[in-house]
Amino acid sequence: MRGIRIARALIGAATAATVLFVVSSPAVAETGGPRVISAVPAEGRLVDVVVYSPSMDRGIPVQVLRPADTSTPAPTLYLLNGVDGGKNDATWSVRTDVPEFFADKHVNVVTPLDGAFSYYTDWLRPDPGLAQINDNNGVNRWTTFLTSELPHVIDEYFDTTGENALGGISMAGTSVLNLAMSAPTVYNSVASFSGCAMTSPGPGQDFVKVVVGIGGGNPENMWGPYNDPAWVAHDPVVNAEKLPRIPMYITTATGIPGPYDTLADPRIDNDVAVLAATLALGGGIEAATHFCTMQLAARTTTLGMDNIRYNIKPAGTHSWGYWQDDLHDSWPMFAASLGL
């Protein structure tokens, strides 16, 4: 348990280090169903879109990477960011080679740039703390938005094939498994990179409490009091039999320094302080996600769930270089499930 306490402290420290910004989310007074409020071409094939969410009653910024050929419908890969929700450039299109990697792939890549500290779930109540840090109304109905509202809008506005896949890192590595359980027919395949698949009272719940708390949120506004059955109901390990039998890719490292944890890595850029934080904080967080992932692997193996591929890396920290590799490694699964 000492290791878990250390990992918990590291999660808090690493998350706190990111809370140095407040970026406004579009606030709108709208009625009716979900729809595109605005769509502005950005760099390259990127489009900055704002989608009105009736369940949250506000505009949600979403980044869409279009395929090179837009004359024929393409499927959609939803990639979720981690605890920052994509703010402060902590997003796939900036921290990885997503624009280049998908240059020759006939797929839309969609990433919400919102949802910091929310676990991308439906909260029971509006949260004043998250309202303040995210400068919005504090309503978080992310399961509804991601499984119902957003796919409908993306399919209609961008004339997609209607086939979807889903991936997420860190905090969202937990979320994607819950989203798959909530809407088992929406996504053809799912990938979880460095997420903790545990939310029940104990280490898993403690991880959630730390992450949400660092963002100023009250976790009891999310799934109720800490003894509420909803916490267990959202635990992928406990509820593994409810995971859809679709292709899944679940990965974690150990927290031991790996090939990207050097001064020479472009993301570290010879910065000793960044390297130290990556090794201490990123190493501790990844050790925690490793613990969670091994529990899920044991559970799904017992259930005979051979639809899941686990990639347990012997070395690596909680950082973007490894998640870029994970995306490359999981792409054949995504592509096959999307008919590409």
User: Quick check: 199 and 265 in contact, CB under 8 A?
Assistant: no
In angstroms, what CA-CA distances link 2 with 6, 170, 212?
Answer: 6, 22, 22
Q: How large is the average pLDDT for residues 77-93?
A: 96
Q: How far is it, in rounded angstroms, from Cα 289 to Cα 292?
A: 5
**pLDDT tens per residue, range 125-164:** 999 999 999 999 999 999 999 999 999 999 999 999 999 9
- At residue 27 the predicted structure's pLDDT band, cuts being 50, 70 and 90, is very low
Smallest CA-to-CA distance from 311 within 333, 283, 281 is with 333
Smallest CA-to-CA distance from 109 within 159, 57, 156, 167 is with 167
User: Which tokens sit at 132?
Assistant: 């303040």
Classify each residue of 288-312 as buried b or exposed e, where b means 16 or more C-beta atoms within 10 Å of its C-beta. bbbbbbebbbebbeeeebeebeebe
pLDDT value at position 221?
99
- At residue 32 the predicted structure's pLDDT band, cuts being 50, 70 and 90, is confident
Average pLDDT, the chain: 92
The model's pTM: 0.91
Residue 191 has pLDDT above 80, yes or no: yes
- With the C-alpha atoms ordered 98, 44, 187, 205, is the resulting torsion angle positive or negative? positive
In angstroms, what CA-CA distances link 93 with 86, 163, 276?
Answer: 10, 22, 25
Name residue, tokens 């024929």: 72
List the domain boundaries for the chain.
2-337
Name residue, tokens 């490292």: 253
Name residue, tokens 């990111």: 18
Letter for the amino acid at 96? Answer: T
pLDDT value at position 30?
53
Residue 13 has pLDDT above 90, yes or no: no
- CATH number belonging to the domain at 2-337, selected among 3.40.50.1820, 3.40.50.300, 1.10.490.10, 2.60.40.10: 3.40.50.1820
Residue 69 has pLDDT above 60, yes or no: yes
Q: How many CA atoms, within 13 angstroms, populate the side-chain half-sphere of residue 11?
A: 32
The C-alpha R_g of the chain, in whole angstroms, comes to 19
Over pLDDT 90: what percentage of the chain? 89
pLDDT value at position 20?
27
